Amino acid sequence: MILAQIGAILADFDVKTAKIGLIPNSEIARELARFLAPFSALSLVVDPVIGSTSGTRFLSREGVRELKRRLLPLAALVTPNWPEAEELTGLRVRSDRQAEAAALALSQECGCAVLVKGGHGPGRVCRDCLVTRDGRIRWYSSPRVITRNTHGTGCVLSAGIALGLAKGLSLPAAVAAARRFLVTSLKKNRKVRLGGGRGPALP
């Protein structure tokens, strides 16, 4: 069913980029990679959602291996947070320096650009590390927005990057534009209250 939906979209629209988020199991990771491999002109942004901030695990370790082996090498960009970068590389990520090392290691292993997001880091500044395919390192920084509405921030960021790439922006420019959009949204809606838990990162 998933592949049929993707096939219908690709047959009907001139799709330039696609964002892949939560993959529930290793079989779907394998089939997605097999299906998308022929579409070499499609810029894939993969947000490797392995678990939630609240601690729920979505993708098994076998699924992570399949994701890494088959899907990430097809990606234009992979956007792990600190815990996901640890899981994908086996490296400890507890500082900006370690985040950079993990981004470099994952980029070299899978042949894709990597943006390690710094939302799990400490301090008043959130710093994201981008390593492009040519090994160049770029850091993006912004004041941390204090809000309970942080559910889906990574999803919003990766979707925004995909949108920027579809509009013809370079990868560094697409990352910068998506970060600006996310920060503006978090600031604008920081006091909105929806439900009892973490609120959504509203546009």
Place 6 in a pLDDT band, splitting at 50, 70 and 90. very high
Rounded mean pLDDT, 156-172: 97
Q: Does 131 map to a domain?
A: yes
Answer whether residue 108 is part of any domain: yes
Active site residues: 117, 150, 152-155
> Rounded to an integer, what distance in angstroms lies between the CA atom of residue 33 and that of residue 74?
8
The 10s digit of each residue's pLDDT in 19-57 is 999 998 899 999 999 999 999 899 999 999 987 666 678
Position 6 in a domain: no
Domain count, the chain: 1
Assigned domain for 194 exists? no
Ordered DSSP codes for 30-85: HHHHHHHTT-TTSEEEE----B-TTS-B-S-HHHHHHIIIIIGGG-SEE---HHHH
Report pLDDT for 53. Answer: 64
Rounded to two decimals, what is the model's pTM? 0.94
What one-character DSSP code corresponds to residue 132?
-
